[in-house]
Amino acid sequence: MALPIWIPDALRSEQSPVKKTYWRCVEAQHVVSTLQLVDTLDEQRLLEDILEETKTPVPPECEGLHYLYMTPFRYGLYPNGSRFRKAGPTPGVYYVSEEPRTAIIETAFHLLLFYSDSPGTPFPAQPSEHTAFDVPVKTKAAINLTAKPFSDASDIWMHPSDYEPCQQLEKAARAEDIQLIHYASVRDPDHKPNAAILTCEAFAAPVPTQNQTWRLWFNKAGVHAICEFLEEKFSVSPTQWASDERLQSIIWS
């Protein structure tokens, strides 16, 4: 599907700066995975240093950033396409949400894609643990797909599974030196805001300073999330994502 003909003009005329804090969610194993292979913290530090030497070099613009920030920009070969990034050797895109809850929902959806691809795999009996952390951002040039004129094409930005128009937009946005794309979450039932960060230069701090521990579990009633410390919890029904054909192979019962 071709982009609307007015997109190039809008990319040049509708840019604005953004300064705010977003959130991202990862599996809690990002901290303790290598601890299972060693006996002491010093051994873990040595193992992490050895592993670091085998990884792709950090892009110059990402030097000094925490690995939780730089990772999507570090690895240029992207195995699967996402909303604003084509598969293959493509520039990094860092996805964030305005609220921790939306970041959790996005994570839950992508876990469901795994179960959809492996229909014989049952849901875990125990909840999985995840960490939501803050991502301060300050950009000179950003676009907002939830505001006019971009919102006039919301049907293509928010398609459940056809990412081609969004990927075309990302490519065109980079050509105009746009650093961030603000858009509505397709997975969040309330369509709360998300953002796609296109460059490491958009990060306003080198490391996260806030984090929340969430637990996720799945059963026939849907996805359930709980943050005990904040005394927050919510559920998302399977019907919420019924329009996405990729999840139709999941047997929720």
State the pLDDT at residue 119.
Answer: 78
Is residue 6's pLDDT more than 70?
yes
pLDDT of residue 49: 61
Model confidence at 2, pLDDT cuts 50, 70, 90, reads: confident
Question: For the residues 59-63, what does the mean pLDDT come to?
Answer: 93
pLDDT of residue 38: 63
- With a cut of 80, say whether residue 18 has pLDDT above it: yes
Q: Which residues, other chains included, contact 77 with Cβ-Cβ below 8 Å and sequence gap of 6+?
A: 88, 89
pLDDT in tens, 70-122: 999 988 788 889 999 999 999 999 999 999 999 999 999 999 998 898 878 88
Please give the pLDDT value at position 103. 98
Residue 251 confidence (pLDDT) above 90: no
Domain residue spans of the chain: 7-247
pLDDT at 1: 72
What are the tens digits of pLDDT across the range 136-173? Answer: 999 999 999 999 999 999 999 999 999 999 999 999 99
Three-state SS sequence of the chain: CCCCCCHHHHHHHCCEEEEEEEEEEEECHHHHHHHHHCCCHHHHHHHHHHHHHHCCCCCHHHCCCCHHHHHHHHCCEECCCECCECCEECCCCEEEECCHHHHHHHHHHHHHHHHHHCCCCCCCCCCEEEEEEEEEEEEEEEEECCCCCHHHHHHHHCCCCCCHHHHHHHHHHHHCCCCEEEEECCCCCCCCEEEEECCHHHECCCCCCCEEEEEEEEECCEEEEEECCCCEEEEECHHHHCCCHHHCCCCCC
Q: Taking the model in full, what pTM does it have?
A: 0.91
User: How does residue 52 score in pLDDT terms, banded at 50, 70 and 90?
Assistant: low
